[in-house]
């Protein structure tokens, strides 16, 4: 697949989205507080990656360092590559060595890390095959690589409410979303670089009994899934989705949003 810039991969938009970790933190906190079953995603992913004490692990697209406490508990060394300076500043408490850089051009020597992971970020990369090749390049042969993403978000009740609200308001929401670019359907693409890749899955749900936490989660990202997002479209969509969510909660007592975490796990060739 050729490199291409879309709404999801536009550098200016991503710079705004991740100027700091405010939006990301809302999503992380929503998953922490409202998951139907308790979950510890970093612990689950690291259980698959299985680094040993002293190993050097690359966290590509590290964000605000959400995986780093779990990594630290395993007594591994961490090099974190992150493109957005706002995220690096937000991760000031992390013990990892942060390096400013892009997963499609990793600023690391060949065979320099024992294991690599890229968590919930490959859908933001214009050239996914190149990013996968870079992860293979820097990870020693036999080292493990974990790539996490989401299941099909188009099946989500919140995405469906978003699309309904957009239709009612005359807003074009026929756009690519994250799980379209890199989701549960990318095994063949991953195996083109990592032939041993397997798929692991964790199933859960968000269960939210109040309107405002749903709206805050929606405002942290999903609201932007329109052709031409503006302050006006966001305002109008937030207002209409708030009404629709409130109606759902009045009728059902809660809104339940099924979620699936996908992890591609492979050995570096």
At 209 the pLDDT is: 98
User: Is residue 4 scored above 60 in pLDDT?
Assistant: no
Query: In 10 A of CB 232, how many CB atoms?
Result: 9
At 12 the pLDDT is: 87
At 2 the pLDDT is: 43
- Give Cα 61 to chain centroid, integer Å: 9
Query: Which pLDDT tens digit goes with each residue over 77-96?
Result: 999 999 998 899 888 778 89
pLDDT mean over 64-89: 94
Question: Burial of 119 by CB count in 10 Å (0-12 exposed, 13-18 middle, 19+ buried)?
Answer: buried
Q: Could you tell me the domains of the chain?
A: 11-152+176-203+260-267 (3.40.50.150)
Query: Which pLDDT tens digit goes with each residue over 31-57?
Result: 999 999 999 999 999 999 999 999 999
Query: Which pLDDT tens digit goes with each residue over 92-123?
Result: 778 899 999 999 999 999 999 999 999 999 99
Q: Give the Cα separation of 248 and 256 in Å (integer).
A: 10
Structure tokens at 65: 């360092």
pTM score of the predicted model: 0.94
Query: Which pLDDT tens digit goes with each residue over 9-32?
Result: 988 889 888 999 999 999 999 999
Q: Which of 200, 224, 45, 175 is nearest to 117 (CA)?
A: 45
Structure tokens at 52: 């040993």
DSSP string for residues in 203-245 = EEEEEE-SHHHHHHHHHTTGGG-SSS--HHHHHHHHHHHHHHH
User: Is residue 167 scored above 90 in pLDDT?
Assistant: yes
At 5 the pLDDT is: 58
At 226 the pLDDT is: 96
Q: Tokens 């004490």: give the residue.
A: 53
- CA 86, 59, 98, 39 dihedral sign is positive
User: Is residue 236 scored above 70 in pLDDT?
Assistant: yes
Instruction: Please write down the long-range contacts of 219-223, taking CB distance under 8 Å and 24 or more positions apart.
Output: 219/26, 220/23, 220/24, 220/26, 220/27, 220/30, 221/17, 221/23, 221/27, 222/158, 222/159, 222/162, 223/162
Q: What is the mean pLDDT of the chain?
A: 95
Residue pair 116/60 in contact (Cβ under 8 Å)? The answer is yes
Ranges of H-type helices in the chain: 11-17, 22-34, 41-49, 68-73, 85-90, 128-138, 157-169, 178-181, 187-191, 211-219, 231-252
DSSP character at residue 250 = H
Residue pair 110/90 in contact (Cβ under 8 Å)? The answer is no
> What does R_g of the chain's alpha carbons equal in angstroms?
19
Q: Which residues contact 3 (CB under 8 A, 6 or more apart)?
A: 126, 127, 130
User: Is residue 1 scored above 50 in pLDDT?
Assistant: no
């Amino acid at each position: 697949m050729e490199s291409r810039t879309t709404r999801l991969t536009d550098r200016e938009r991503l710079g705004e989205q991740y100027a700091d970790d405010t939006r990301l933190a809302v999503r992380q906190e929503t998953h922490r507080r409202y998951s139907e079953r308790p979950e510890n995603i970093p612990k689950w992913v690291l259980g698959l990656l299985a680094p040993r004490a002293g190993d050097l692990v690359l966290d590509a697209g590290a964000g605000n360092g959400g995986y780093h406490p779990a990594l630290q508990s395993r007594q591994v060394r961490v090099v974190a590559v992150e493109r957005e300076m706002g995220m690096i500043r937000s991760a000031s408490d992390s013990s990892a060595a942060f390096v400013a850089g892009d997963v499609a051009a990793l600023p690391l020597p060949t065979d320099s890390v024992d294991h690599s992971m890229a968590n919930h970020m490959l859908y933001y990369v214009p050239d996914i095959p190149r990013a996968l090749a870079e992860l293979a390049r820097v990870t020693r042969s036999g080292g493990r690589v974990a790539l996490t993403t989401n299941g099909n978000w188009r099946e989500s009740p919140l995405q469906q409410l978003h699309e309904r609200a957009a239709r009612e308001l005359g807003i074009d929401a026929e756009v690519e979303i994250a799980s379209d670019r890199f989701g549960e359907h990318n095994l063949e693409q991953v195996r083109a670089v990592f032939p041993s890749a397997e798929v692991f899955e964790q199933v859960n749900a968000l269960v939210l009994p109040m309107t405002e936490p749903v709206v805050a989660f929606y405002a942290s990202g999903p609201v932007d899934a329109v052709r031409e997002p503006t302050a006006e479209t966001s305002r109008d969509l937030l207002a209409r989705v708030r009404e629709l969510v409130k109606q759902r909660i009045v009728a059902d007592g809660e809104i339940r949003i099924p979620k699936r975490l996908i992890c591609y796990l492979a050995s570096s060739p």
